[in-house]
Amino acid sequence: MENKVAIYGAYGHTGKFLVAQLYQQGFRPILIGRDADKLNILSKDYPDLVIKVADINHPETLDVAFADAEIIVNCAGPFLDTAEPIIQSAIRLGKHYVDVSAEQKAVLDIFEQFSEKAKQADITIIPAAAFYGGLGDLLSTTLTQGWDKVDEIALYIGLDSWHPTKGTRLTGERNHYQRFMFAENRLQPVLEVKSKIWEFPHPILRKEVVTVPLSEIITISRHINVNTINTYLSQNSLTDIRSDETPEPKPVDEKNRSSQRFCMEVVATKDNKQRSIIAEGIDIYAVTAPLIVEAIKRILTGKIKKQGVTTLGEGFDATDFLSALDADDIVISDIKETDIN
Ligand SMILES: NC(=O)c1ccc[n+]([C@@H]2O[C@H](COP(=O)([O-])OP(=O)(O)OC[C@H]3O[C@@H](n4cnc5c(N)ncnc54)[C@H](OP(=O)(O)O)[C@@H]3O)[C@@H](O)[C@H]2O)c1
């Protein structure tokens, strides 16, 4: 597993979770970023890993940095800036590409610009393979198995708090594009914000949730035949990230996770049937790492079902993928099915 994985943005908050988890599982990733000093600091913790400086404005530096890898993981956001140059390099070199983008437009652009080119280059590209974009897509896929047509997928994300990183704040500021909702079987500009009260299990409990146009709208709608997708986020977490006073996440455990708790519940309906599934865990940045690691292992062992641009739910066996995750990272409930009137 020497040098098979190249991580761009390796010294960022999310990048570091990924490096730690890959290293702990025996991978020896190549650590890449634009800042030599930050790479050197990270390198003190991983003296045996190769580091490379590469800049998205100098494509030749990207090609050199990625040359030895099989998979490029891009953890450097805003992805509206970094995804295109890095994917261009992946296509030139014939390497697979995975990222953690949370911006709808970045994910849409990747599908639109690179689907054909990725197929021609014989590579797989998976945007949004993370807490936002990826996890909800996996849950929705396993939940709707056997249903050829789904009336609604509603995704409820409850966070007890959200201390955003610098990258999250920058990405929010950079993303001033049209947001989309999914209704009547198609993407449409967001017209309204809906809110309701949702009962999450302990410790999140009862929360006001509001519709937020997340990247799951894009990933889920690419491959599930669904009429309507609604993505809700707890209002308290939006208040947190909108305040300049909210601090960055602080590590509190041996995996450097913060104390943040999350719960993601997905409810799917078809005719008079309703199914639901719940994923729970600690720290939405940290949990992105095991999702990416699982995707990497599956790509390297040929368990990917599709070439070109795809999603975690479409590209892999979603049920098997979720069951492979460690309960210390994420706990997934059984699927509950009920009749509704
Ligand atoms: N979908 C999800 O669930 C999910 C989960 C985690 C993170 N994310 C996304 O991942 C991104 C990073 O988040 P983070 O928490 O890791 O933030 P972070 O700690 O601030 O790290 C950001 C990283 O991106 C790099 N970067 C930013 N702009 C760059 C550019 N133009 N060229 C090269 N490198 C650039 C930074 O390098 P410098 O330090 O040199 O600027 C740094 O390595 C954000 O867009 C965030 O939304 C998404």
Does residue 11 have its Cβ closer than 6 Å to ligand 1?
A: yes
Q: Which CATH class is domain 2-130+289-315?
A: alpha beta
Does residue 14 have its Cβ closer than 6 Å to ligand 1?
A: yes
pLDDT above 90 (res 341): no
Q: Mean pLDDT in the chain?
A: 97
Which residues belong to CATH 3.40.50.720 in the chain?
2-130+289-315
* Dist CA 139 CA 318 (whole Å): 7
Q: Taking a C-beta distance cutoff of 8 angstroms, is the pair 102, 77 a contact?
A: yes
pLDDT band of residue 191 (cuts 50, 70, 90) is confident
pLDDT above 70 (res 2): no
Which residues belong to CATH 3.30.360.10 in the chain?
135-283+326-339
Mind listing the pLDDT tens digit for each residue in 163-183? 999 999 999 999 889 999 999
pLDDT band of residue 1 (cuts 50, 70, 90) is low
Task: Give me the pLDDT at residue 220, please.
Answer: 98
Q: Nearest 5°: phi and psi at 154?
A: -120, 130
How far does the centroid of ligand 1 lie from the alpha carbon of residue 12, in Å? Answer: 6
How far does the centroid of ligand 1 lie from the alpha carbon of residue 21, in Å? Answer: 18
* Dist CA 29 CA 41 (whole Å): 16
Tell which CATH architecture fits domain 135-283+326-339.
Answer: 2-Layer Sandwich (3.30)
By percentage, how much of the chain surpasses pLDDT 70?
A: 99
pTM for this structure?
0.98
96-99 and 124-126 strand pairing = parallel
Mind listing the pLDDT tens digit for each residue in 74-90? 999 999 999 999 999 99
